[in-house]
């Protein structure tokens, strides 16, 4: 069932073998029965949390044994399913757990790197004229309480800019909470944002504090905002207008002081015109907007970023690359970078990994895509849209090829959450 759903899965018949396997090989998720030969499920869970504390674990238990499952949750399991389980429920729970685990790791990694960058005063943002204009806007809006809308293609650094605004503001001692609205299943968005009370729905075993409350007195960053359904857009609009939220199943509203920064990889006004996003919510989010330029319009910054990513990759991969050859530097500058800074980072990491000397003189880029053509009127717009989609399609196909057709691996290669990756595959007809 798992393999048919696109996952790579390995089964072992007892707890001791499971522990041995986890010690020896990397896994993204463990599904563990509570009743097992050898070490039982709770013992296995405890060992997993010693070996790999962040590895998500789902427990399986008979309906009459739910007390043990609750104990497992207290020991660090992410969730449990009762037997006999429903196949669709199993796949949904796995997908939800993996998505949230990936998102948490992505946010924590970014937060760690941003913290390190600020401490060392070496945060790489670029020197090009366009990015300097962006930071002039950041300086203007940071001292205010205005809601900010950041727009830019995927990989241009929208969360970095949002974090930068937070760090420079008087809220910098309070939390910066990031939510990828494209990574959370539609049915869970309301609970994730606003929280829920114990017993609010079938699986609400305990009270949950939502992202709004977690960000109280700080900043809430809502990425991929266009993924919200209309009903969730209405709830978000009400929360922003009233400055208070109600947990699912709750009776008493919670007053909040949260600064909202939203982000979209498409121009939100265009989505409003297509009637796929509420105009009243758009106006609330667009009190101040910042448009991030794509990397192809920041050619002066490409070598700077490349050198930074080489240093980063050296530390991560234990390499000693100190130079990028002139020929390769020109190749990087002349490439169109449809995946922007994220794609550049991935390309440099792979190049450093494969390097055998101290100079990068071989860098594999995806096949060049048609030039980005700008122009007035519909014809120019259509050409631009086609070129962008074609570039994105080529990158995804290349990642799938490298991953041997495994979609989860391809998403990891591109540093993209699985939900967004699957949506792009569907939209691009791959």
259 with 381, same domain: the answer is no
Q: Is residue 272 part of a domain?
A: yes
Task: Report if pTM > 0.85.
Answer: no
330 with 227, same domain: the answer is no
pLDDT for the residue 280: 95
CA-based torsion, 262, 124, 172, 214: positive or negative: positive
159 with 280, same domain: the answer is yes
Q: Is residue 24 part of a domain?
A: yes
Count other Cβ atoms within 10 Å, centred on residue 121: 6
259 with 164, same domain: the answer is yes
Give the structural domain span for 44. 15-94
Task: Please tell me the total count of domains within the chain.
Answer: 3
Contact 206, 250 (CB under 8 A): no
Contact 303, 326 (CB under 8 A): no
pLDDT for the residue 386: 42
pLDDT for the residue 373: 33
The residue among 285, 212, 223, 220 whose CA lies nearest residue 247 is 212
Q: Is residue 107 part of a domain?
A: no
Q: Is residue 114 part of a domain?
A: no
Q: Is residue 280 part of a domain?
A: yes
43 with 75, same domain: the answer is yes
Q: Is residue 99 part of a domain?
A: no
pLDDT, tens digit (0-9, with 9 covering 90-100), for 19-37: 888 888 888 899 999 888 8
158 with 281, same domain: the answer is yes
pLDDT for the residue 287: 95
pLDDT, tens digit (0-9, with 9 covering 90-100), for 203-249: 777 888 899 999 999 999 999 999 898 999 999 999 999 999 999 88
351 with 222, same domain: the answer is no
Q: Is residue 113 part of a domain?
A: no
144 with 280, same domain: the answer is yes
CATH number, position 28: 3.40.50.2300
| Cis-peptide, bond into residue 232, ω within 30° of zero | no
383 with 236, same domain: the answer is no
Last residue of a domain, one of 291, 322, 339: 291
Concatenating the DSSP letter of every residue in 207-226 gives -B--HHHHTTTSEEEEESGG
pLDDT for the residue 384: 44
423 with 324, same domain: the answer is yes
CATH number, position 199: 3.40.50.300
Last residue of a domain, one of 241, 274, 291: 291
Q: Which residues of the chain have pLDDT under 70?
A: 63-66, 69, 103-125, 366-391, 404, 426-430
Q: Is residue 211 part of a domain?
A: yes
135 with 192, same domain: the answer is yes
């Amino acid at each position: 069932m798992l393999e048919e759903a696109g996952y790579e899965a390995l089964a072992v018949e007892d707890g001791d073998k499971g522990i041995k396997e986890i010690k020896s090989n990397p896994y993204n998720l463990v599904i563990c029965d509570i009743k097992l030969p050898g070490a039982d499920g709770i013992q296995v869970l405890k060992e997993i949390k010693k070996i790999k504390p962040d590895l998500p674990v789902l427990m399986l238990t008979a309906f009459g044994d739910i007390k043990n499952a609750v104990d497992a949750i207290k020991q660090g399991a992410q969730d449990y399913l009762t037997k006999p389980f429903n196949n669709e429920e199993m796949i949904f729970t796995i997908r939800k757990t993996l998505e949230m685990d990936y998102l948490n790791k992505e946010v924590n990694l970014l937060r760690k790197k941003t913290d390190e960058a600020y401490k060392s005063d070496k945060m790489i943002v670029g020197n090009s004229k366009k990015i300097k204009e962006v930071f002039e806007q950041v300086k203007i809006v940071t001292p205010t309480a205005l809601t900010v809308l950041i727009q830019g293609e995927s990989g241009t650094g929208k969360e970095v800019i949002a974090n930068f605004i937070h760090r420079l503001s008087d809220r910098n001692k309070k939390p910066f909470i990031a939510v990828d609205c494209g990574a959370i299943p539609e049915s869970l968005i309301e609970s994730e944002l606003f929280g829920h009370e114990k017993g609010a729905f079938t699986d609400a075993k305990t009270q949950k504090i939502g992202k709004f409350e977690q960000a109280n007195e700080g900043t809430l960053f809502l990425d991929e905002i266009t993924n919200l359904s209309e009903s969730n857009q209405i709830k978000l609009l009400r929360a922003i207008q009233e400055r208070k939220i109600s947990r699912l199943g709750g009776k008493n509203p919670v007053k909040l002081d949260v600064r909202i920064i939203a982000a979209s990889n498409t121009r939100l006004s265009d989505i409003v015109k297509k009637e796929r996003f509420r105009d009243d919510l758009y106006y609330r989010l667009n009190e101040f907007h910042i448009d991030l330029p794509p990397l192809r319009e920041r050619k002066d910054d490409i070598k700077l970023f490349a050198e930074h990513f080489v240093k980063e990759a050296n530390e991560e991969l234990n390499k000693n690359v100190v130079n990028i050859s002139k020929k390769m530097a020109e190749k990087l500058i002349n490439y169109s970078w449809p995946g922007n800074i994220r794609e550049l980072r991935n390309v440099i990491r792979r190049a450093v990994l494969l390097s055998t000397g101290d100079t990068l003189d071989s860098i594999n880029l995806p096949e060049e895509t048609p030039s980005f053509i700008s122009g007035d009127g519909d014809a120019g717009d259509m050409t631009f849209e086609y070129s962008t989609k074609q570039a994105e399609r080529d990158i995804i196909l290349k990642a799938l090829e490298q991953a041997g057709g495994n979609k989860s691996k391809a998403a990891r290669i591109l540093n993209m959450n699985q939900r967004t990756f699957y949506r792009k595959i569907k939209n691009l007809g791959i």
